Structure 1
Amino acid sequence: MFKKDLFGWIGIAVGSIALLLAMVHFYAGPFSPQPTLESLVASKTVAIKQSLLASLTGHRVSESPLQPHYNLDQLLKVVIAILAASSVIFGVIGGARRENRRAVSGALMLGAGTLAFQMAVFAFGVIAVIVLIAVVLPLIMGSLGDWWSSLF
């Protein structure tokens, strides 16, 4: 049975590992130290000020090339995506070989579910940032009541 449905079972195993890694990373992560919001905003503000002063005084603005730096969280996201896509690919190959439908559909569901979970977490983060900006920006710029009343 296992030899006949080899790609389906490999897809289930790989998809299970991907989903398990995604859940552990979501609930126990982030594993790498994250910069605070204050330090991030402060560093960007200083960089903007320095480039503005340099351009106003006629000096050339030095552009430092960005060095790609990968941390554990980014590597985990890539590994999870590769494992989930591999699970889907194994499921498709198993379906093409007319393997057991349950094994093939299990591999496809685990892989697609893991990819959908990562996309949903990303979408939730984007929505949270938009809401945070929409709430904090009026407090910084002026009265929240005037802004809120202008929306409706």
Structure 2
Amino acid sequence: HLFWIGDPENPEDEQLTNFHWHAKVKTMPKANGGLYFHTQYEESGWPSAGYECQVNQTHKDRKKTGGLYAVADVLDTSPVKDGEWYDYDIIVDGKHIVIKINGVVTTDWTEPDDWQPPKNMSGRKLSQGTFAIQAHDPESIVHYKDIRMKRLP
């Protein structure tokens, strides 16, 4: 995982709450990846805090690109193809999460006040934190470029 740490001179810079995060993404066949937000740096393993926005066109996992992993999944059919660049936008405003792929909304979800995260994923909740970029395993080739983030009030 690759974590964004913000401005080293201003440690508070990495603690993001509301934002619009944009990236161009391209996967190769059978690749699996993800874009995490509201997470924290971890030396090893999967990020345990925050949410993962899925990146997967043809990997065996049924959860496909544009879904909020294990919360609001896009199942079985990806909205994009391997080998092609596409726009991935994640907008978080309060408890509202919107994911867009090439400008089309694939996930529009609001975290309920009484939210209970999925089993074995107790850190899946909105709060604040940083970003992480994932390539799921050594065989997963995922390209990310033109990564931009805009803070929202």
- TM-score (normalizing by structure 2): 0.19
Which one has the bigger helix percentage? 1
Structure with larger Rg:
1
User: What TM-score results when the alignment is normalised by the length of structure 1?
Assistant: 0.19
